[in-house]
A and B are shown apart, each in its own frame.
Chain A
Amino acid sequence: MIQNNSTNNGGTAPTDLNVAPLSRRIRPYLIVAPALLITIGILIPFGMAIYFSMTGYTFRNPDPTFLGFKDFAFLKNWIRMFQDAQFWNAVWVTLRYAFWSTIIELLLGLGIAMLLGNTDNRFSRILRVALIFPLMVAPVIGTLIWQLMLRSGVGIIDKFLNTLGIYGMQWGASSKTAMLTVVMIDVWVNCPFVIILVLAGIQSLPKSPFESAKIDGGSAWFNFKTLTLPMLKPTILIALLFRLMAALQEFGIIFALTKGGPGDTLMSLSVTAYTRAFLYQKFSGALPFILVLWFIVNTVAKRIVTAWRKSQYQATGKELEEVAKKEGLIKRLVKGGKAK
Chain B
Amino acid sequence: MKKLFALLLVVTLMATLFVGVGSAEGEFDWKAYAGTKIQVMFNQHNYQKAITDYGKLEAFQELTGIEVEYSVTPEENYFDKLSVALSSKGGDPDIFMTGAYQVWDYASAGYMEPLDEYITDPDYNFADFYPGVAGTLAWDCIPGHAVGSGHQWALPMGYELNDIAYNKKYFDENNIAVPKTTGELLELSKSLKGWHGGENDYGIAVRGTRNWATIHPGYMSLFATWGAKDFEVEDGKLVCKLDSPEAIAMTDYWVKLIVEGSSPQWATFTWYEAGANFGAGVAAILYDATCNAYFQSYPADASAEAGNFGWIPGVVPDDSGLTENDIKSNVWVWSMGMNANSDNKGAAWLFLKYFTGPEFMLFSGTEGACADSPRASVAESEEYKAIVGQQFNYLESLDALLPNATIQFTPQPYFFETTTEWAATLQDLVQAYRDTGSCDTEGAMKALKAKLDIAVEDLVCE
Contact = CB atoms under 8 A, between A and B. Distances in A.
Tell me, yes or no, whether A and B come into direct contact in the complex with CB atoms closer than 8 A. yes
B80 A279 contact: yes
B430 interface: yes
B265 A62 contact: no
B423 to A, nearest CB: 8
Interface string B407-442: 000000110110010011101101100110000000
26 contacts: A59-B87, A61-B109, A62-B89, A152-B264, A152-B265, A162-B200, A172-B267, A173-B208, A173-B267, A174-B434, A176-B435, A258-B210, A258-B267, A259-B209, A260-B210, A261-B210, A262-B210, A262-B428, A263-B428, A264-B424, A275-B420, A279-B79, A279-B417, A280-B414, A280-B420, A281-B416
Contacts of B427: 261-263
Interface residues of A, number: 36
A281 B418 CA distance: 12
A170 B416 CA distance: 26
B243 interface: no
Contacts of A169: 264
A59 B79 CA distance: 13
B136 to A, nearest CB: 21
B108 interface: yes
Interface residues of B, number: 42
A205 B150 CA distance: 75
A280 B209 contact: no
Given A170-B267, A172-B267, A258-B209, 18 more contacts: A59-B83, A59-B109, A60-B108, A62-B89, A152-B263, A167-B200, A168-B264, A174-B431, A176-B435, A259-B210, A259-B211, A262-B427, A263-B427, A278-B83, A279-B80, A280-B420, A281-B87, A281-B105
Contact of B431 (A61, A152, A263, A279): A263
Interface string A148-183: 001111100010001000011111111110000000
B280 A154 contact: yes
A257 B428 CA distance: 17
A53 interface: no
Interface string B107-149: 0110000000000000000000000000000000000000000
Contacts of A282: 417
- Interface of chain B, helix or strand or loop or mixed? helix
A162 B420 contact: no
A170 B265 contact: yes
Interface in A59-90: 59-62
A235 interface: no
A309 B420 CA distance: 46
A257 B273 CA distance: 13
B417 A173 contact: no
B92 interface: no
B199 interface: yes
A59 B268 contact: no
A156 to B, nearest CB: 13
Interface string B54-95: 000000000000000000000000011001101101000000
B396 to A, nearest CB: 31
A257 B265 CA distance: 12
A55 interface: no
Interface in A216-262: 257-262
A147 interface: yes
Given A261-B209, A263-B428, A153 B200 contact: yes
A153 B201 contact: yes
A176 to B, nearest CB: 8
Nearest to B212: A279
Contact of A278 (B80, B198, B263): B80
A281 B198 contact: no
Interface in A273-301: 275, 278-282
A264 B282 CA distance: 29
Interface string A167-208: 111111111100000000000000000000000000000000
B75 to A, nearest CB: 13
A153 B196 CA distance: 12
